[in-house]
Amino acid sequence: MNVRCAFCQTPYTLGRTEKLIALQQMDTEKLSHYDAHCPRCRRATPVQRQKMEATFPNWREALHELETQMEAVADAPQGTPASAPQPEAAPAAPAESKPAHKHRTHAKVKPEAAKPAAQKTATKKSK
C-alpha cells in the first residue's frame, strides 16, 4: 500500500506483513485508523481502517495462515528450520591430490629501501 507522509510528503509503502499486523492491532484494540510512521521524518501518518481493509480484503485468512506457519516453525527441531533445504552431499575428494606449486611464476618484488623519517621530501608551495 502506497502512503505519502502528511508532513514531509515522502512517499513510502506498507508491506504485506506490516498491513497484516496493523489490521490485527486495529481489530483487537477497536481502532479506526493506523499510525504509519514515515521512514524519513518518523512522524505518524494516520491511515483509515477502510483503506487498509480495501487493500487487503481477506486479511483474516492470511493471518490464520501466517499463524499456522509460525507454529510449524516453532515445532521444528532447533537445529534446522522446517522450510530450509537439505544440503547436498559434497563430492568425494580424490585419493591423491596434486601437490601445490613449488616455484613461483611471479617476478620477485624488491623491497623498498627504508627512508629515515627525518629525510621526508618537502612539498612545493604554489604561489
> Which grid cell sits at 5?
507522509
pLDDT in tens, the chain (127 residues): 899 999 999 999 999 889 999 999 999 999 999 999 999 999 999 999 999 999 988 888 988 888 888 888 888 776 555 555 555 555 555 555 555 556 556 556 555 655 555 555 556 666 5
The verdict on pTM exceeding 0.85 is: no
Instruction: State the DSSP code for 84.
Output: P
Instruction: Tell me how crowded residue 56 is: count the other CB atoms within 10 A of its CB.
Output: 18
Is the torsion defined by CA of 56, 60, 62, 67 positive or negative? positive
Instruction: Tell me how crowded residue 14 is: count the other CB atoms within 10 A of its CB.
Output: 19
Is the torsion defined by CA of 56, 34, 19, 25 positive or negative? negative
- 85-111 residue pLDDT tens: 555 555 555 555 555 556 556 556 555
